[in-house]
Amino acid sequence: MAVSFFGIAIFLFLSLHCKYSAAVEGVEVTYGSVIKLMHERTKFRLHSHDVPYGSGSGQQSVTGFPNVDDANSYWVVKHVPDTSSKQGDTIKKGAIVRLQHMKTRKWLHSHLHASPISGNLEVSCFGGENNSDTGDYWKLEIEGKGNIWRQDQKVRLQHVDTGGYLHSHDKKFQRIAGGQQEVCGVREKSRENVWMAAEGVYLPTKDGKAESS
């Protein structure tokens, strides 16, 4: 599937480390938005880069990263194939979404391999533009009031195949630079699996234009 001109423009825009003006609180997260996910308790961003795990699946590693300005922490919010959803649609509670890593084009993925530090469910990046399966499917849960995913809301992402919630904690990798912490899947709800949409480009606003944060 060819990458759209708009997608290429977004990629170049983000790769230049542009500084965005603050967006209005509560802007909607829509399909096609390019966002960073912030772990609510530790404030680390969901992160990946082209480095494989040394154990488990050996797939591309996913971590929590402390630096807000890192370009490897951007994810494109995508719908699952064979649905009526399209770019620009709002995302409701209970929706099944996919997160595509902006730089490597692989999908946020999970399975029954053990995570490297805690031994929970491993979370990795896997596949590619035309290679995605149900291991990339995550169900959106919204904390508190509201049925539409917005930037200022606390959310959980539950992996469809394993039932594990996207999770992070203070356990850090000793051999990875930058103080990166483990991201894994855990089947029990806790404060450690709450996330918020943070910096990014949110598409579209009610006037049909992109908003950035």
pLDDT in tens, 171-211: 998 776 668 999 999 999 999 999 999 999 998 755 565 66
pLDDT the model gives residue 179: 87
pLDDT the model gives residue 145: 86
Domain 5-19+27-205 listed as CATH 2.80.10.50? yes
The pTM (predicted TM-score) of the whole model is 0.86
Biggest CA-to-CA distance, the chain = 48
pLDDT the model gives residue 138: 98
pLDDT the model gives residue 50: 93
Boundaries of every domain in the chain = 5-19+27-205
Dihedral of CA 174/176/178/182: which sign? negative
For the chain, residues with pLDDT lower than 70 are 1-25, 176-178, 205-213
Instruction: Please state, in angstroms and rounded to a whole number, the distance separating the CA atoms of residues 154 and 197.
Output: 8
Instruction: Please state, in angstroms and rounded to a whole number, the distance separating the CA atoms of residues 120 and 184.
Output: 6
pLDDT the model gives residue 26: 79
pLDDT the model gives residue 43: 97
